Amino acid sequence: MTVVSYVGPDFEPSPPRRPRRRPLTVALAALVPGALLGWVVYEAVGGPDGGSAGAVGTPVSSRAPASPTASEPTDSGNDDAKQPSPTPATSAPATSSPGTSAPAASGPLKGKVIVIDPGHNPGNFQHTAEINRKVNIGTNWKECDTTGTSTNAGYAEAEFTLDVAHRMRTLLQAQGATVKLTQDGDRPYGPCVDERARIGNAAHADAVVSVHADGSAAGNRGFHVILPGSVHAGAADTRPIVAPSRRLGERIAGNFVRVTGSAPSNYIGDGTGLDTRTDLGGLNLSTVPKVFVECGNMRDSKDEALLTSGAWRQKAAQGISEGIVSFLRG
């Protein structure tokens, strides 16, 4: 994936030019628009909290919800059924409908469709009856959705996933891809896990990535990528997508390490950063290559410092995006 420079223009005044210097003047004039374009991209990608300009470990803004108590159960990584947390999250304003995308630019991914699935929803905590409704995932019935987890300081997973998804969308659209989101904080709850799968299927996506963060015990650190196992039951048949999904997951894992510097999980995947599961509706019901990415553990203080940093979230978005690009370009 092409790396875009985010350094803004910084030019020293030029000395008086003699006529014989005119070719240099023309060359400098040609460079100025490119530098200004880099600055515009920086401003667009930076995000409301400083984006890639932030420092690692910088706290998130005060709009995060209150902290869960230490006695609350931690999340064991059961993504489709993370235990609902009593911690409310601030709902994002409605900006676009799920599955919409700005017109794609020309680039190496022109003609490719990528679906980003930001895990959970900021409004889920207000709709516990709806998200606890069971849906069929092929192998069994499971909750429609959950609230997700949060850091000990109250930064909600649903807020994290939307932020990373937005950053990924910007990066991938710059490569020419058509990018669709399963939700953009613009619906009261959900969508349910079966609908999330259907959105990717209906888009005939070339790749789908569900963005999450884990809620395991303190001391458990690192990221992992969840791959679909072979399932053939009811409406679920992952057999055609198991191999391409593994390739997608491997490319994402490798690029995530390279870009973020984060290590693979020390508690899932035996150090590979890869975990295969057959109990997640979002994977079981997919008919296109799809993986989940658990970017880190929100309940570990060291991972929390990363996940709450705008600069690190930009690196996470870039690592995942470059993995997708590597997969799609073969």
Quote the tokens at residue 218: 């303190």
**Catalytic (active site) residue 72:** no
Quote the tokens at residue 69: 């108590």
- Beta-carbon contacts of residue 308 (< 8 Å; ≥ 6 apart): 57, 58, 59, 60, 151, 153, 155
What crossing angle do the helices spanning 157-174 and 310-329 adopt, rounded to 10°? 50
3-state secondary structure of 27: helix
Quote the tokens at residue 43: 């401003």
Quote the tokens at residue 326: 């590597």
Q: Are strands 134-136 and 232-233 parallel, antiparallel or unpaired?
A: unpaired
CA 44 – CA 227 distance, rounded (Å): 32
**Catalytic residue (one of 143, 157, 250, 294):** 294
Which positions are catalytic? 294
